[in-house]
A and B are shown apart, each in its own frame.
Chain A
Amino acid sequence: GAVVSQHPSRVICKSGTSVKIECRSLDFQATTMFWYRQFPKQSLMLMATSNEGSKATYEQGVEKDKFLINHASLTLSTLTVTSAHPEDSSFYICSAREPAGDTQYFGPGTRLTVL
């Protein structure tokens, strides 16, 4: 299957700082990428849909000014958590949709801890 990477895999930051997470599709070009968040013992929650060259579409209840998404190329989408607070601590996972079909492939996830 297709490979999606995320960087960093783990990050610890102080409250009030911003953190950027990168998501890359390594062996295919993805016009659409997705960002999910997962709290302990819960299922994945879709945060936003990222389309190359256009503004992201956010799910209801997700603050677009807090979670900045950029999809500047067909292989890279970034999620920036601005002014992070302890309640933003979570497991952030991206996925990329393959262009030929409709299957989404997921990255390994980024564990964010805000102190």
Chain B
Amino acid sequence: DAKTTQPPSMDCAEGRAANLPCNHSTISGNEYVYWYRQIHSQGPQYIIHGLKNNETNEMASLIITEDRKSSTLILPHATLRDTAVYYCIALYYGNKLVFGAGTILRVKS
């Protein structure tokens, strides 16, 4: 699976959109981009995933660049409860999830 690179931490004001970037420049054509988050002392929570097209669900939007070398997870209206570690993972279908360091998102009031 391709390596992903994320900033170690980010701050976001409550109520504003949180845009979390992820670089995956070596991703192959059939690797998915998955996003999970982990709130302190809990198991990771699935957020969203995509292959080529942008995706949106009730939690977030995933924007994947046309060349697929990077993506952005967007939380449209961040709340204090969105404070967590966010993980971006590139994954072939059927492979194991391997977690990196992720991005610590701090939502501040």
Q: Which positions in A face B, CB cutoff 8 Å?
A: 1, 4, 6, 34, 36, 43-46, 49, 91, 93, 95, 102-109, 111
Contacts and interface: CB of A to CB of B under 8 A. Distances in A.
Contacts of B101: 43
A1 B99 contact: no
Interface of B: 32, 34, 36, 38, 41-46, 49, 87, 91, 93-94, 96-102
Contact of A34 (B38, B41, B42, B97): B97
A36 B93 CA distance: 19
A34 B91 CA distance: 15
Contacts of A1: 46
B43 A108 contact: yes
B97 to A, nearest CB: 6
A36 B38 CA distance: 13
B2 to A, nearest CB: 16
Contacts of A111: 41
Contacts of B42: 108-109
Q: Looking at chain A's contact residues, is the secondary structure mostly helix, strand, loop, or mixed?
A: strand
B39 to A, nearest CB: 10
B43 A104 contact: no
Given A102-B32, A103-B49, A46 B97 contact: yes
B41 A95 contact: no
